[in-house]
Amino acid sequence: MAAENLTVFGAIDDERHGVTLPRIFTPPLRPLTKETSNGFAVIAFAEIMLHVHLYPWQQWLLVHALELLEDGSYRFRKVIVLVARQNGKTTLMGVLAAWWLFVDSNKHPDRVPPVKFLVVGAAQTLDNAKGPYNQVKEWCNPQPSTDEEADLVIPDLAAMTQKFVNTNGEEAIITRSKARYIVRADKNIRAKSAARVVFDELREQHTDDGWNAVSQTTKAVWSSQLWGISNAGDYRSVALRKQVDKGRKLVDEWTRLSADGGNPSDVFMSGEQDGSFGYFEWSAPDKCPVDDADAIRQANPSLGYGPMTVMSVRSDIDGMTEAAFRTEVLCQWVTADIIPFINPKMWATGIDSRSTIPDGNRVVLSVDTSADRKTTYVAAAGMRADGLPHVELIARRDGMLWVPHYLDLLQERWPHITEIAVQGKGCPAVDFIDPLTEKGWTVHLIEGFRLGACCGRFHDRVREGKLRHLPQPAVEQQVSVAVSRRLGEVEVWDRTKSALQISGLVSESQALYALETMQVENEKPKYAPSVTHFAVV
């Protein structure tokens, strides 16, 4: 591919300015012009209508990410952008969201009429989603209440705006054409159908739940587009990591095809590779010195075009940990050295997709809740026909209140299952002990010396290859991050220090311990009920 003329975006190539071209990016299918990309229209909209002069990297990104296909639809249905903090992400997304709402919503009324054109701003929290949204509100406010607000208003946009909805959790900008821009926390977006989505701070998604909810919103809309924008993540950023891995893999495949003399455009548009996934990463090369000027310029494309300089960035080095500086400023992935208590490779050797507990065999359940009380798991353990123990997760849901009713239904179907193991002290799951005892369950308390024995026995079974379990990604993910802590001279599970919630794994270990070491006899609680409402919910 011919070298791109970056001066058309105002790029300056010297040691004082950031690098406009991302280090890793998806190449275009064809030369990008005003006919083949909507990016040029957004740049003009920003300059003429909003009086916002975008940095060169922002202009470059808009032109590439808004590439068009022959039928006028967007090439990319998903766009992932990685760039260091304080480089103008919020301004860029505010400009783009305003253009979507007031211009793009009217471009194809036969395909997506304005009344069905929904722009969604999403993030882990509502406050994080409001950055670009608040910028758009300032520009289109039809009824400014102060002189300061009036000074920010773009009259043409205000004239196109019908109203704001300011109810907390229901915030919206509604245009006179009925196109809408709403902001929501990620898990409150289910059942929405969106034409455009901005998913901010993807690095904060420590599970796949938020991404799974948001990414489904654009599937049924013609020429829809979802933008995920963030700086680099860490070992907890599971959702972003998957998108980054996919983006880099696709870029590598394009490069390989080009090197082999093939035509990557044909391969990507034929469906052999995903041509609808756009990936753009401004980051420093791995293992570079933290004070390397070229590395800083590569990760911070706004350098020199605004107040940020190489010198000002270097001045932050001494005030931050190296890991934080590499993540926040150099946009590099820093993976902490986690040594899981259970070796993931050994765990994988115990996977058996056909593993079952024969009908009539003894089954012990266990329930455990994450440290933040947000998620509860129920696991089961029993002996297989060959004498090896089998464990599996049988339920996972948000909160805690659902558990007693779920167990009632389970016992109606399998009345021979009467035993359940619960940690006896120091965790949210203790709230289940008394209600379950009152309902007639044999409750095995995991406390005292049993905490260490439970954790250790589970570890030993895995290490010795004497445990079987189904392929369950949720548990496998927990195995990869679950750590232990010392309690006296034994190891116990550490829910707080583990990178993700590990209650699914904990419940499996407790079920196994009770199965192998505890008899079928009712263990009375040693204290008064801490919570009684479960019995009556």
Residue range 190-233, pLDDT digits in tens: 767 999 999 999 998 888 888 998 999 999 999 999 999 999 98
pLDDT of residue 221: 96
| Amino acid at position 205, single letter | Q
Alpha-carbon gap, residue 362 to 389, rounded angstroms: 11
Residue (of 444, 424, 423, 430) closest to 400 by Cα position: 430
The encoded tokens of residue 180 equal 């809408």
**153 within 8 A of 140, measured Cβ to Cβ:** yes
- Give dist(CA 500, CA 386) in Å, integer: 34
Q: Give the C-alpha distances (Å, rounded to integers) separating 238 from 36, 184, 338, 416, 501.
A: 34, 21, 15, 39, 13
CA dist., res. 80 & res. 450, Å (int): 47
Q: What pLDDT score does 532 carry?
A: 35
pLDDT for res 337: 56
Which two structure tokens, joined as six digits, stand for 518? 């505890």
d(CA 208, CA 124): 11
**Could you say which residues of the chain have pLDDT below 50?**
522-537
- Cα–Cα distance, 210 to 206 (Å, whole number): 9
Task: Give Rg (Cα) of the chain.
Answer: 27
- Whether the CB-CB separation of 514 and 364 falls below 8 Å is answered with yes
Contact between 313 and 296 (Cβ < 8 Å): yes
Which domains are present in the chain? 12-328 (3.40.50.300), 344-535 (3.30.420.240)
Beta strands in 124-263 (DSSP E): 161-165, 172-175, 180-185, 196-200, 225-230
Max Cα–Cα distance, the chain, nearest Å: 79
- Can you give the length of the chain in residues? 537
Q: Which two tokens stand for residue 451?
A: 């905490």
Q: Give the whole-angstrom CA distance, residue 517 versus residue 176.
A: 69
Of 381, 336, 337, 338, the closest CA to residue 363 belongs to 381
Q: How far apart are the first and last CA of the chain?
A: 65
C-alpha distances in Å from residue 43, one per residue of 57, 323, 517: 12, 35, 69
Token pair 């054409």: residue:
177
pLDDT in tens, 257-279: 999 888 898 989 888 899 999 99
Count CB atoms within 10 A of the CB of residue 403. 24
Kindly list the distances between the CA atom of residue 136 and the CA atoms of 50, 172, 313, 427, in Å, as whole numbers in the listed order.
10, 11, 29, 45
Structural contact between residues 421 and 511, judged by C-beta atoms closer than 8 angstroms: yes
pLDDT for res 400: 95
Query: For residue 426, how many other CB atoms are within 10 A of its CB?
Result: 11
CA distance 457 to 466: 11
Helical pair 56-65 and 89-102, crossing angle rounded to 10 deg: 40
Give alpha helix (H) positions in 71-168: 89-102, 126-140, 147-152, 155-159
pTM for this model (two decimals): 0.70
- Say how far apart CA 272 and CA 531 lie, in whole Å: 56
Residues 369/373/473/339 CA torsion (nearest 10 deg): -80
Nearest to 60 by CA among 310, 312, 271, 305: 305
Of 183, 143, 180, which Cα lies nearest the Cα of 167?
Answer: 183
Q: Report the alpha-carbon distance of residue 419 to residue 205 in Å, rounded.
A: 36
Contact 117, 67 (CB under 8 A): no
**52, 46 contact by CB (below 8 A):** yes
Angle between helices 89-102 and 126-140 (to 10 degrees): 60
Would you say 289 and 326 are in contact if contact means Cβ atoms under 8 Å apart?
no
On whether the CB atoms of residues 157 and 102 are closer than 8 A, the answer is yes
